[in-house]
Amino acid sequence: MKNFVVKTIANAGALAVAVWLLDRITLTGDSTGRKAGTLLIVALLFGLVNSVVKPVVQVLTFPLFVLTLGLVTLVVNALMLLLTSWLAGVLDLSFHVEGFWTAVVGGLIVSVVSWALNVVLPDED
């Protein structure tokens, strides 16, 4: 359970960095607390998408992973971020990613920052 909380906090921090760096990834809200709550819910959604949908997409696109030496990972991460944005819209959350290329750069930022935060934050191991 502790590992789940740490990963969710890392995802929320990584998403916050992407929102901060990219103008076309937006998070709106009345107050900072509301934005933080929305960011945590979006981080949970992002974690759910990455744990359920991403493995299926990776299996289906395995030949592309081999052919591109793993560079298609950027596209898969972008698609997961776009799916999270769409789900946030369906759930009436104020998080939106505008455009595929923004999602590619945002996915790269989220991956790097999430990795760095997971290295720094405590883990069960």
In a domain, 55, yes or no: yes
Residue 124 pLDDT: 64
pTM strictly above 0.85: yes
Among 2-6, 12-16, 76-80, 98-102, the minimum mean pLDDT is found in: 2-6
On whether residue 100 sits in a domain, the answer given is: yes
State which residues form the domain around 110.
Answer: 2-120
**Does residue 115 sit within a domain?**
yes
Q: Quote the pLDDT of residue 1.
A: 65
CA angle (103 as vertex; 47, 15 as ends), nearest 5: 45
Reported as a single tens digit per residue, the pLDDT across 69-81 is 989 999 999 999 9
Write the CA distances from 90 to 42, 45, 118, integer angstroms.
12, 12, 29
Does residue 13 lie within any of the structural domains? Answer: yes
Q: Is residue 125 part of a domain?
A: no
Task: Look at residue 68 and tell me if it is in a domain.
Answer: yes
pLDDT tops 70 at residue 87: yes
Report long-range pairs for 72-77 (Cβ below 8 Å, ≥24 apart).
74/104, 74/107, 74/108, 75/104, 77/104, 77/107, 77/108, 77/110, 77/111
Number of structural domains in the chain: 1
